[in-house]
Amino acid sequence: MKFRKLIAASAALCLAAPAASNAMTAWATKPIDEVIPGDVNVDYTFNLADIVLFQRYLRGDDCEVLFPAYKEPGPGGDVNKDGSMDIFDLIGMRKLIVKDITGAPEPEVETAARNLCEGIKKSPNTSGIYMPDYQNYKEFIDSQTNFTIDMLKKTYSEKKGANDLISPYSIVQALGMTANGADGDTLKEMENVLGGGMDIASLNRYLKGQREMTVNENDWAKWSFSTANSIWARNDTSRIQPRPEFIQNCVDYYDSEFYIAPFDDTTLNDVNNWVNVKTNKMIPKILNRINPDDVMYLVNAVAFEAEWMDPYEKYMIKDGKFTSADGKEQDAKMLCSSEIYTSDENTEGMIKFYSGRRYGFAALLPSEDTDIDTYIENMTAEKLHNLISEYRTTNYEMANMKLPKFKYEYENELSDELCAMGMPTAFSDDADFSRMSAINDQNPLSIGYVIHKTFIDLDENGTKAAAATLVAVKDTAMPREPEKEVVFDRPFVYCIFDTDNYLPVFIGVLNSLE
């Protein structure tokens, strides 16, 4: 096992591309009041970026570009403390990173791809933020609620009359990782859409904090909410070279795994199997094929399973009818109980809690004079927030409720929706993902498509729900269709020549194939 992980560590070091010098500037201007072994860029963290920079330093690259403030590696570069910085210190750094990797847990999903981030140590001081007393907490909540309503409106407008189910949490997790590789206008648009204008560093911390809050620490509360993130990069350094600081951010804030894969049928199976395992087999497949121009996948998977705090007994399940959007009457099993009542000018609804009260379920019924299409069109973030939180601030009332059991799957490709919401540049030829790949200037990247799949099963015992989001990053290096065509279907001359002096060593004419 240790040998395999050593190989993974070495591969990670070989893959890592040069870190951006402007990112180093802010770190290097800090006072050196604490020396961390291996911390050559003086960001008080030792990770892959330090090793890549130190390799470039030893190779003789311009130190003023690598370390703008100090003009040389920080004192942490002297790992063996012999007063000089040389190849022996690089060996020491590699041993430090390998030490972290060899203590890593076994991956949950077996793949043919190489997991290069298995066990890479997280940077310190990258704690999440998700607490009501933090000054910008409301800004984050408002931004995520606005994103929820905007995305619901966009997805529903395409399929009016059909079931719809999205996980804004899953979508933002996947796109949040992606935004760490963006820059310029591309990054600004993604920050506006995903966080209401919040900078990516703050958004990273909030999303990490939100994810950490989904961990159930009480054995008696019968619910689980698991989140998993992964990055899959094409094993072709001529097309993409993931920057180490991009990968490190995804490890630090998204607990992401990082795989190098051939992007063939084995990768297709690996990605689908990863999603299947991480969603507790509720979403067995997210990709149907791998496109020739796909060079990276950023994938999020979510699995939620919870029992009701007050389950429905058999006598509470009654036969009933449900009228669909097209007016057809359908047989239904109705779950009958007394639940918290919520309402506004054109809504009546219910709130029911899952075990532990950490999560709740809300059902909102438009008034009879408001059709569902109009109701969704007029929905606002404030309206939704008020309906699902009203019971916390008022003396709520109870009402008899009849809720149908239901189960279905949903799938959508979200490119059009995200463009309409304000981030079209990420999908265009003007996209800037220079913080994702070290060769983006030679081989520009953009988002090709965003696949979102969900599943829900609600019955008398509780609810099972899952979501998976895949962001496919593409490049422009795929084989292009030739503009001209030459068909050798008549006599022609041919030769075999010496490439040193361009003299033919064989030459001939083909007049017949017989």
Domain boundaries, the chain: 2-104, 137-304+408-474, 314-406
3-state secondary structure of 353: strand
Fold of 314-406: Alpha-1-antitrypsin; domain 1 (2.30.39)
> What would the 3-class secondary structure string for 182-246 be?
CCHHHHHHHHHHHHCCCCHHHHHHHHHHHHHCCCCCCCCCCEEEEEEEEEEEECCCCCCCECHHH
pTM above 0.85, yes or no: no
Fold of 2-104: Type 1 dockerin domain (1.10.1330)
Instruction: Identify the H or E element spanning 474.
Output: strand 462-474
Q: CATH 1.10.101.10: does it fit domain 137-304+408-474?
A: no
In angstroms, the Cα distances linking 414 to 4, 115, 245, 381 are: 38, 28, 27, 20
Quick one: how far is CA 426 from the chain centroid? 15
In angstroms, the Cα distances linking 380 to 138, 188, 214, 389 are: 16, 24, 25, 14
Nearby residues of 266 by Cβ (< 8 Å), 6 or more positions away: 112, 113
Side-chain half-sphere CA neighbours of 349 within 13 A = 22
Give dist(CA 338, CA 332) in Å, integer: 19
Give dist(CA 381, CA 377) in Å, integer: 12
pLDDT tens for each residue of the chain, 514 residues long: 333 444 344 444 444 433 333 333 333 334 444 678 888 887 767 777 788 788 778 877 777 666 766 678 888 888 888 888 887 788 787 777 655 443 334 456 777 777 766 556 666 666 677 655 455 678 888 899 899 999 998 998 887 888 888 899 999 999 999 999 999 999 999 999 999 999 999 999 999 988 988 888 888 889 898 999 999 999 998 999 998 889 889 998 999 999 999 999 999 999 999 999 999 999 999 999 999 999 999 999 999 898 989 999 999 999 988 888 888 888 888 899 998 898 889 888 888 888 988 888 888 888 888 888 888 899 898 988 888 888 887 678 888 888 888 888 989 999 999 999 999 999 999 999 999 999 999 999 999 999 999 998 988 999 888 989 999 999 876 555 555 565 556 665 544 554 444 445 455 545 555 5
Owner of token pair 């990768």: 267
Side-chain half-sphere CA neighbours of 489 within 13 A = 3
